[in-house]
Amino acid sequence: MRIMMITGGDVARAPDRESTCSPHRHPGLDPGSRFFSSPHGKAGLRIKSGVTKGRMAAAKMTGILAFLALAAPAVQAVPSSPANPVQLRIGYKAAATNVCAAPDAKTPPGMAALAKHLAGRLQTSVQLCPFADANDAAAAIAAGKVDFANLTAAAWPAAKGKGRPILTVRPDGKLPRTLIYAIAKKSAGKLDPAAIAQRRVIAIRQDVVSYDAARAAITTRGGGALTANPTPLAGSFAAAIGALAAGKADVALVPANEWKAGCLADKTICPPYQIAWQGRPVADNAWVLRAGLPDELHYRLIGIFLALHLENAQAYAAAADGVKGAFEPAETAALDGEPGK
């Protein structure tokens, strides 16, 4: 039986699978006492009202010892789980390159904090592998010499097929990587960004998501021609669909959540149209996990990194290259394109 504590890193969006149990307060104990339940039963104490303080203390101690006895085998078993490699090798940029090794006194403090944090959460050995740049780290992932590294979009092609992006930073106050739908009549068929950029395109409104992120989703994926002219604005979702219906536009760029909300609000408006393409702006960089490692490790890393800015600021700063914000899950194609276009 595995008994784990749920922390801020365990979120519903991308669960950190090490957390299989949930905390409960036992009504017979003081507010500081916490016991845990699992799918196999509850660990706790039933204390009748009227017992003496001495008996309560003894009962509490018995419960604590019982909990520790149950928890100890689970902790010992974690390193042998298929989700935990014998070691996790992390690539990072450093002035002096060397072989992979455990953190030492010469390791940058932020990377040492990240290695310690991951080692504690994954219950496995973490080694740090310094590289001159992201290109060298990408080559190392492709060669199977590194398991996890922060790669730029420019370096990504060298590792493509040998790993996959799993995390990007959502920066505070900068362009969000919102999912954008390119909506067109069903007769138009499927379109790619290059083809979309050659059509009459309309956006809903002038804001960072509906306009800036929507255009970036196209321009960074091969539709650079869209930057030649400003994109006309419809003013509302219904007006954008109306422009398609009237033949005044060929493609409407719509944030995914707005398309879904608009179609639910009026079930007659969307049937003649299709999502001809969908995507997000290309990420500047993303943490890439080497192919062939267990899926469970993939999801546990996501869960840990999503809360990293809350749990370990020093480790977050190193992992995010100093960019303020928070990590979010990345799609497989996060680095496929040219960011900044």
pLDDT in tens, 216-253: 999 999 999 999 999 999 999 999 999 999 999 999 99
Lowest pLDDT segment from 53-57, 65-69, 103-107, 312-316: 65-69
Residue from 289, 30, 21, 336 nearest 155 by CA: 336
Spacing of C-alpha 128 from chain mean position: 21
pLDDT in tens, 99-142: 899 999 999 999 999 999 999 999 999 999 999 999 999 999 99
User: Position of tokens 């092609």?
Assistant: 157
Q: Pick the more confident residue, 312 or 6.
A: 312
Domains plus CATH for the chain? 1-75 (no CATH), 87-174+283-329 (3.40.190.180), 180-279 (3.40.190.10)
Inform me whether the pLDDT recorded for 22 exceeds 80.
no
- The DSSP element (H or E) to which 328 belongs, if any, is strand 325-329
pLDDT in tens, 142-169: 999 999 999 999 999 999 999 999 999 9
pTM summary value: 0.74
For the record, the structure tokens of 191 come out as 């379109």
The pLDDT value recorded for residue 37 is 35
The pLDDT value recorded for residue 98 is 75
The pLDDT value recorded for residue 173 is 87
pLDDT in tens, 172-210: 988 899 999 999 999 999 999 999 999 999 999 999 999
Spacing of C-alpha 207 from chain mean position: 25
Distance (Å, whole) CA 93 – CA 95: 7
Helix axes 237-245, 256-265, angle to 10 degrees: 80
Inform me whether the pLDDT recorded for 85 exceeds 80.
no
Lowest pLDDT segment from 84-93, 115-124, 193-202, 274-283: 84-93
Q: Are strands 41-42 and 35-38 parallel, antiparallel or unpaired?
A: antiparallel
